[in-house]
Structure 1
Amino acid sequence: MKQKGLSSKYLPQLDATGRVVHPGQCWRPSSGGNCNHPWCGTPVLVTTPVGRTVADLVRAGQFGADEAIRCCHDCLSALSASASAGIRHGDIRPENVICVTSGMRQSYYVLIGWGHAILEERDRPALNLHFSSTSVLQEGKLCSASDAESLVYMLYYSSGRDLPVLDSVEGALQWRETSWSRRLIQQKLGDISAVLKAFADYVDTLCSTPYPIDYGVWLRRLRRHIHEEDSGKEVDTSG
């Protein structure tokens, strides 16, 4: 993403590259190549910053309403920045969002896990029965609002809902159809904040359509809500 000229504190930055040093003796031949160890020669990318995943925060009971709203804002900021360069994430889930607290007065969230990013039309996103968008499950590709739809599912599950047992694409699609038509997702997010409920309603109108997300409008609404909730405290929501 750095090659695309993207710079945002809500996006990871490449810090170093290398290869795994596996335990035990390495019998790599002098002529090159790898030894028989399955990790030998595995490339590694080191990115910054580091933090706890949303999945970890949820398990620890530390992902409340304020965190959900800030997480939504910060992830949308990352998606807005990447979309400006024609890059879409394609694999948004609790394990791919981290909360950064080190050296910061106010924690913030970074969207990581860009290994399945969609750079070209022929690229295919990861498939996740719980978090993939309807378009990915139906057609195997992202629509313009797919990342935002996945973000809504992540916030829904991370805010106290149990993951349903889904063992097929058909079952996952049926769960989505039922949940949206009965407004279960909007109701749950509405228990957290009216702005998250409104965002879910907005995403519902865009699911599987070619219409793009208006990131600017929703970033302003979320930023305004964050400032109001913090009762006038100085909050850094720049990206």
Structure 2
Amino acid sequence: MSHSDLGRGVVVVPTYNEALNLEAVVARVRAAQPELDVLVVDDGSPDGTGAIADRLAAADPAVSVVHRTEKAGLGAAYLHGFAVALERGYDVVGEMDADGSHQPEQLGRLLDALGSADLVIGSRWVRGGSVVNWPWTRMALSRGGNLYVRLLLGIRVRDATAGFRLFRRTTLEKIDLASVQSTGYVFQTDLTWRTLQAGLVVAEVPIEFVERERGESKMTGAVAGESLRRITRWGLRERRRQLRRFVRERRRP
């Protein structure tokens, strides 16, 4: 299947204070996959990121910008971007960080896999995936967090927290985006879980994740804490549901 068979595609790139990185990342996406559009969703960055995005959009019709007036979290920015993408009729909607950690040159791997999947995740933790320039503590936190997700939710996805991914339009339409309340990094796990719950196919392809060289990471202890609490609630709820189902089946004559 050629990429053109997938229909029109857009990559949603949320930004908050990414003035040092945005221009290079957008240029790399446009060079690596010229058929993909780019939608920048800026959360009112005080460092001028929004103005840079506007300049890029003025120079390239494949680039557009949504300006948000508040910093409401990664999930809120993505939900806004997804709504705009669906409204504009895109068939494929992608997610990618603006800091260069996700390499646009690897988007082709995700597009190839989308031919037989509903959601494709660029994974750090499958065979062939890797992380560059992370301290062992951050590696352990990410690996441990994903192991916790697998055990608690009973899923096989090895990098449910990853933010480099492609959705089919039909997937986003099936998973009830209007009811998504997670705003931080747990948003990624939330949408992975919803896709699986809807009976859809999630594929993982290996990527090389490169830690940002410029600007500050948005991952904080508070963000990690929100993720852990929310995932724990889902997991316990799902385990109770499984137990009730098991008991019902055992009681059948």
Which TM-score band (shorter chain)? under 0.3
Instruction: Name the structure, 1 or 2, with higher relative contact order (CA <8 Å, separation 6+).
Output: 2
Q: Which of the two has greater helix per residue?
A: 2
